[in-house]
Structure 1
Amino acid sequence: MAEQFTFPKGFWWGAATSATQIEGAAKEGGKGKNIWDQWFDEEPNRFFDGVGPGTTSDFYHQYKDDIARMKNIHFNSFRLSISWSRLIPDGSGEVNQEAVDFYNNVIDEMIDKGVEPFVCLYHFDMPMAMQEMGGWENRAVAEHFGRYASICFDLFGDRVKKWFTHNEPIVPVEGGYMYDFHYPNVVDMKRAAQVGYHTLLSHVFAVKAFREKDRTGGEIGVILNLTPSYPRSSHPADLKASRIADLFFNRSFLDPTVLGEYPQELIDLLGEHGVLPDTESGDKELIKEGKVDLLGVNYYQPRRVKAKENLPNPGAPILPEWFFDHYEMPGRKMNPYRGWEIYPKGVYDIMINLRDNYGNIPSFISENGMGVQDEARFMENGMIQDDYRIEFIQDHLEWLHRAIEEGANAKGYHLWSFIDNWSWMNAYKNRYGYFSVNIDTQERTPKKSAYWITAVHKNNGFEK
């Protein structure tokens, strides 16, 4: 007998994207250079097929048609980000009126079509002028971010009611300062800790600016990529490894943004290895003021870890992997194109953890999705038959539904992404959208999943 999965009234259905990954027009409209523009200029060879952030999916010019598509597939919400370097080209100076006009037009068009704008202030795209000041290593940049946030609240806060300070703030720390997959390609745990700390302070300054305005009548949150750290076994050494992985990659931002303080165990661990960030007196009280109203959860894959097999090289740079090894669980289900495990139950585990340990904060799945290479292989009768994506979404929604039934305060589900978009170093290698994009012609074509999700949105659920 078929089972019905119906979601709560007013559930947020939609998708997410970011400015650099979708807007294009990187040298138009008065936009300043960001770190991705700079890195592509320096090392285009590090980007898949040499495709940079110049044009991407051209949302800058095609937003009206794209928002009409959102309406057609019954989105009631959509998360976009504002480009700091488009709005304030040097990050700290004059506001660019062309950018104000663009974002006003996008927001107004979305509201007109019944799609609520969820707006993120920072999605990996540091203005180059700010990076030249040291980026997040420099506390002054965090203060400039607070000013930028305040300007956004003034310009758009009369219509935007869901704000998010950062998307996945741990990722620029990992990519830019530990593992060399984001600019500025530093490998240094001490500098990484400082970057993480000032990123958190930038969040706090933005939250404070939001609270001081009050007139926005909205909510402010943060988007975190929460990746459960599952131990190989219940052996104490494996359990410790998973706890430390969780401290680094989840709790380093989850605890301060939701609970208002860092985990003491993380502070002790960083202190023991001489990599604590520099702080100022009064910061502890300041961080308590950065607690959010709403939490976005990005979930793609689990993290599986085990105790170290070998002692770390004492002469090598200290990294989180000093404390655990990654573990490949036998028989795991994989997305071979992205190299990621598919584990839908992770959504449930995250939501139950938030219910039990984080005050059941209002939350939603702000990203979840499946990137697949060469999707044109699955074209039949002019449409990509992405049944694998439908199965992926449905399986995750089933576990989300179960968490809600068990009392988790989950408000919505946003796919990554609405249309195929440019991914950092991967460019258009893996496709994620409900709509495919031909990057030569910019033509958009619905995939099978677009029709399936339309029915889910209309029915506020599905039958299986």
Structure 2
Amino acid sequence: MIKDYRFPAGFLWGSSTSGPQSEGIEAGDGKGMSNWDYWYSIEPERFHGQIGPEQTSTFYKNFAQDVDLLVETGHTVFRTSIQWSRLIPQGRGEINQPAVNFYRQVFQAIRERGIQLYVNLYHFDLPYALQEEGGWESKEIVWAYEAYARTCFQLFDDLVDRWITFNEPIVPVECGYLGTCHYPAKVDAKAAVAVAYHTQLASALAVQACHAHNPDKKIAIVLNLTPAYAKSQDPADQKAARIAELFQTRSFLDPSLQGSYPDELLDLLEEYGLQPQVTDEELEVIARNTVDFLGVNYYQPLRVQAPSLTYQEGDQLLPDHFFAPYDLPGKKINPHRGWEIYEQGLYDIALNLRDNYGNPEWLVTENGMGVEGEETFRDQGRIQDDYRIDFIKGHLKELHRGIEAGSNCKGYMMWTFIDCWSWLNAYKNRYGFVELDYESQERRLKKSGLWFKDVSRRNGFLEEE
């Protein structure tokens, strides 16, 4: 039997990228140093192949060709980001006019092709001048970000369909302050909580500024919602899953959509002396400036069990004190990346938003499959990435099921349209609909790019069940 997975009228199809992972740096372009530029300059050996952010996908000089590729792959929506360090090199003060010209040219080119444009203000890249002042640990960064956001609205709002405040704000918290794969790579739970709170406050201030500038413009936050699944029904495992979801998901989801933090999270912070410095006025800003819609990034589930590590007074507090990872036997896996593939997680997210958060408008803003050594799948000049097509189909089926159950999802964006530089992993794993030859910068469509255009044209796909 053939099933027609047809999506609602007006459903958006596209992909996401970010400025720091795609643009590159051109001599004389006026871009300031970001936290990633600085980290690479002092520890290049930490980056896969010692490949840093200078070149990435050279979108800065090849954007005209790349926008054409958006059309060739059927995009009706595209998400990218503005680099704060490109627009305002020192984080505050002087605006870099070549950056203004670049972003306006790019945004205009996308809009002229009938593609909706979603622009993110922050994708892990902080001007290093602000990092030297303490980065997101310092509340002063919040006001600098608010000024940056206002500048973006003033300069580009006429070309942007929708705005986004932050991409995956929990990731710099987890990786930069509870782990060592984002700068400043320090482990300090109290600093992590301060960074998370300052980011949430900055997001709310950007929502407020956006609506003040244009009351009709919608603005979101993009969160990597990773459902936490307990190993068993044992109360200790169930508690571990609940706390993992508090930390990983609800710490930003609740204040962004509901304007307040979960009581259980606040109680935990108080119990361990981790409360950030807050004011009633700041909490009121968060309460009054919830987002208009939500972007959801989903790659894999979070499987947990009761922690094996017991906290003792004086220990360095870690997430490991609250939950431990659980390796599900027989799980489906991406053998190239090592990540579990669990398509039903997207359905579970859809129902969670429907049932517990007032059924907000949302889009899948990232979902993707990274593959190392993808050139081995080339046949007759094209990468035959059927594995990626199967990955997308599996997730779209679960998304379709969630929409049929009443969840208010309006679009699906793949990560990403062209193979991009990916932080410490550089070009180790390829995610794009378009192959990038790192040496020549030549672009070549993969099989998945051609398939995705057909999905967009049909507003769905046929599948033999």
TM-score by length of 2: 0.98
Partner of 2:234 in structure 1?
A: 235
Partner of 2:10 in structure 1?
A: 10
Shift of 1:29: 1.3
Q: Which residue identity lines up with residue 447 of structure 2 in the other structure?
A: K
Partner of 1:414 in structure 2?
A: 413
Partner of 2:114 in structure 1?
A: 114
Query: Using the alignment, how far apart are the partners of 1:151 and 1:310 within structure 2?
Result: 46
Instruction: Deviation per CA, 1:82-121: give whole Å up to 9, x if none.
Output: 0001010101111111100000000000011111110000
Matched, 1:439 2:438: yes
2:121 alignment partner, SS class: strand
Asked if the contact 1:71–1:114 (Cα under 8 Å) also holds between the matched residues in 2, the reply is no
Q: Which runs of 5+ in 2 are unaligned?
A: none
Alignment CA distance shift 1:373-1:294 (3 Å): same
Matched, 1:387 2:391: no
Asked if the contact 2:211–2:217 (Cα under 8 Å) also holds between the matched residues in 1, the reply is no
Partner of 2:344 in structure 1?
A: 345
Query: Using the alignment, how far apart are the partners of 1:379 and 1:190 within structure 2?
Result: 48
Query: Using the alignment, how far apart are the partners of 1:28 and 1:256 within structure 2?
Result: 41
Query: Using the alignment, how far apart are the partners of 2:457 and 2:141 within structure 1?
Result: 44
1:458 alignment partner, SS class: helix
Alignment of 1:248-267 (within 5 A): 248-267=247-266
Query: Using the alignment, how far apart are the partners of 2:393 and 2:26 within structure 1?
Result: 36
Partner of 1:426 in structure 2?
A: 425
Shift of 1:159: 2.1
Q: Which residue identity lines up with residue 352 of structure 1 in the other structure?
A: L
Query: Using the alignment, how far apart are the partners of 2:268 and 2:153 within structure 1?
Result: 37
Instruction: Deviation per CA, 1:362-393: give whole Å up to 9, x if none.
Output: 00100000000010111111111111100000
Asked if the contact 2:77–2:117 (Cα under 8 Å) also holds between the matched residues in 1, the reply is yes
1:31 alignment partner, SS class: coil
Partner of 1:155 in structure 2?
A: 155
Asked if the contact 1:26–1:37 (Cα under 8 Å) also holds between the matched residues in 2, the reply is no
Instruction: Deviation per CA, 1:104-140: give whole Å up to 9, x if none.
Output: 0000000111111100000000000111111111111
Asked if the contact 1:160–1:218 (Cα under 8 Å) also holds between the matched residues in 2, the reply is no
- Identical amino acids, percent of aligned pairs: 51
Q: Which runs of 5+ in 1 are unaligned?
A: none
Asked if the contact 2:104–2:159 (Cα under 8 Å) also holds between the matched residues in 1, the reply is no
Query: Using the alignment, how far apart are the partners of 1:159 and 1:239 within structure 2?
Result: 47
Give the RMSD, CA atoms, in angstroms: 1.0
Partner of 2:91 in structure 1?
A: 91
Instruction: Deviation per CA, 1:38-63: give whole Å up to 9, x if none.
Output: 00000000000000000010000010
Partner of 1:41 in structure 2?
A: 41
Partner of 1:123 in structure 2?
A: 123
Alignment CA distance shift 1:37-1:240 (3 Å): same
Shift of 1:428: 0.2
Partner of 1:221 in structure 2?
A: 220
Query: Using the alignment, how far apart are the partners of 2:425 and 2:23 within structure 1?
Result: 17
Instruction: Deviation per CA, 1:230-274: give whole Å up to 9, x if none.
Output: 001111111110000000000000000000001110010011011
Partner of 2:181 in structure 1?
A: 181
Query: Using the alignment, how far apart are the partners of 2:274 and 2:337 within structure 1?
Result: 32
Query: Using the alignment, how far apart are the partners of 1:232 and 1:397 within structure 2?
Result: 26
Q: Which residue identity lines up with residue 236 of structure 1 in the other structure?
A: P
TM-score by length of 1: 0.98
Partner of 2:133 in structure 1?
A: 133
Alignment CA distance shift 1:435-1:171 (3 Å): same
Alignment of 1:446-457 (within 5 A): 446-457=445-456
Q: Which residue identity lines up with residue 199 of structure 1 in the other structure?
A: T
Partner of 2:23 in structure 1?
A: 23
Partner of 1:201 in structure 2?
A: 201
1:408 alignment partner, SS class: coil
Matched, 1:309 2:308: yes
Instruction: Deviation per CA, 1:5-58: give whole Å up to 9, x if none.
Output: 000111110000000100002654111000000000000000000000000100
Asked if the contact 2:210–2:217 (Cα under 8 Å) also holds between the matched residues in 1, the reply is no
Partner of 1:192 in structure 2?
A: 192
Query: Using the alignment, how far apart are the partners of 2:272 and 2:462 within structure 1?
Result: 52
Query: Using the alignment, how far apart are the partners of 2:322 and 2:400 within structure 1?
Result: 35
Asked if the contact 2:305–2:323 (Cα under 8 Å) also holds between the matched residues in 1, the reply is yes
Shift of 1:175: 1.0
2:158 alignment partner, SS class: coil
1:185 alignment partner, SS class: coil
Shift of 1:275: 1.1
Bigger Cα displacement from structure 2, 1-10 vs 332-341: 332-341
Shift of 1:276: 1.2
Alignment CA distance shift 1:396-1:28 (3 Å): farther
How many equivalent residue pairs?
A: 463
Shift of 1:314: 4.7
Q: Which residue identity lines up with residue 360 of structure 1 in the other structure?
A: N
Partner of 2:370 in structure 1?
A: 371
Partner of 1:172 in structure 2?
A: 172
Query: Using the alignment, how far apart are the partners of 1:178 and 1:420 within structure 2?
Result: 28
1:288 alignment partner, SS class: helix
2:360 alignment partner, SS class: coil
Query: Using the alignment, how far apart are the partners of 1:218 and 1:287 within structure 2?
Result: 18
Asked if the contact 1:26–1:53 (Cα under 8 Å) also holds between the matched residues in 2, the reply is no
Shift of 1:411: 0.4
Asked if the contact 2:343–2:398 (Cα under 8 Å) also holds between the matched residues in 1, the reply is yes
Alignment of 1:257-336 (within 5 A): 257-312=256-311, 314-336=313-335
Bigger Cα displacement from structure 2, 254-263 vs 201-210: 201-210
Bigger Cα displacement from structure 2, 157-166 vs 76-85: 157-166
